Structure 1
Amino acid sequence: MNKLVPRMQAKTVYDIDLNALRKAGIRGVITDLDNTLVGAKEPVATPELIKWLSGVREAGFQVVIVSNNSKERVSKFAEPLTIPFIYSARKPMNIAFRKAMGMMGLAPNQTAVVGDQMLTDVLGGNRMGLFTIMVQPIALKDEGFFTKINRTIEKAALTFMKK
């Protein structure tokens, strides 16, 4: 399998079929933060996201936020929601994915990764044998320099893969 291709795609996290994940044996969700759960400049969860995250937990899934962003950014978002998190994750490197699975006590075949970037979330998850789900980014205009570079590379990769 191409390491840049997600197992599932969804427009937003709200469009992810949790029943299908459960049937596939998934018990935990590692999720990116910026442009996956909220826009890159949004400091806190929206009421809609709070409701969705509550539903994910009620459905029996564990959730860990894994972000390449700073401790300040990620903790201000995750702590009010009582969601465990890993900051400065250095995705697509394996260490943060392994740590998140350890926090949940789950194996790779029980874990999904949700994110908006092929080169960090999808590549990192696929390299670990996780169930990868790619969502469309929420707010492209607020992205940082390196994310914009990743988007350019992703666009070229998608064009190449279509050929």
Structure 2
Amino acid sequence: MINIQYFKPDFELHHFFDITAEWLQTNKIKTIFSDLDSTLAIHDQPGGEDLKVWIEMLKSQNVQLVIASNNSQGRVERFCKPFDIIGFGKCAKPLPNVLLKHMKEFGATSNTSIFLGDQLFTDIWCGKLLDMRTVLVKPIGMEHEPIQIVLKRKLEAVVRKRW
């Protein structure tokens, strides 16, 4: 049986914008691994002005944002290019293998990284398997989500009641 704690985030915030410069300093964060769709932008849409402002704040704090998505590499690249950030598609979350390889490539460590996402069964579980602190945010644009995500959210609600 899987331990329910694998799905419980270390932090629950309303929006990615709630991760401020002060929050990053307090928690000694150098790298943010983040899901893309419904975490930073509406599903299959580009990021908004609020995301641009937030990414500039991260850069001013020398915090690296790395997109870690199960979506296609093409979707990730189209999203990342305007913001000049790096990203990886087809990450196979919650399995940590792909991201462990990328972490080693650019020297990220679990103790100075967080995993940011909107889903328990992919993002939070992946972060836990990577031995990182995890941040769960409320999904952006839920009305645009594919049916498989809608169904997953119903299962997530059951898990949340057991915390």
TM-score between the two structures when normalised by the length of structure 1: 0.91
| Secondary structure, counterpart of 1:91 in structure 2 | coil
Does residue 151 of structure 2 align to residue 138 of structure 1? no
Does residue 78 of structure 2 align to residue 56 of structure 1? no
1:37 to 35, 40, 44: 40
1:126 to 118, 125, 128: 128
| Secondary structure, counterpart of 1:134 in structure 2 | strand
Unpaired runs of at least 5, structure 1: none
Distance 1:74 1:97 in 2: 15
Contact 1:101 1:111 in 2 (8 A): no
- Where do 1:98-113 residues align within 5 Å? 98-113=100-115
After superposition, the C-alpha distances for 1:13-49 in whole angstroms (9 at most, x for unaligned) are 011244233232221000111011111031x221221
List 4+ stretches of structure 1 deviating above 6 A: none
Report the RMSD for the aligned CA atoms in angstroms.
1.6
- Number of aligned residue pairs: give it: 160
2:28 paired residue number: 25
Contact 2:68 2:89 in 1 (8 A): yes
Distance 1:144 1:86 in 2: 21
After superposition, the C-alpha distances for 1:125-155 in whole angstroms (9 at most, x for unaligned) are 0122101000000111211232222211101
After superposition, the C-alpha distances for 1:78-104 in whole angstroms (9 at most, x for unaligned) are 122111111011110102331342243
1:13 to 4, 16, 35: 16
Contact 1:97 1:125 in 2 (8 A): no
2:48 paired residue number: 46
| Secondary structure, counterpart of 1:123 in structure 2 | helix
TM-score between the two structures when normalised by the length of structure 2: 0.91
1:86 paired residue number: 88
How many angstroms does 1:74 deviate by?
Answer: 1.1
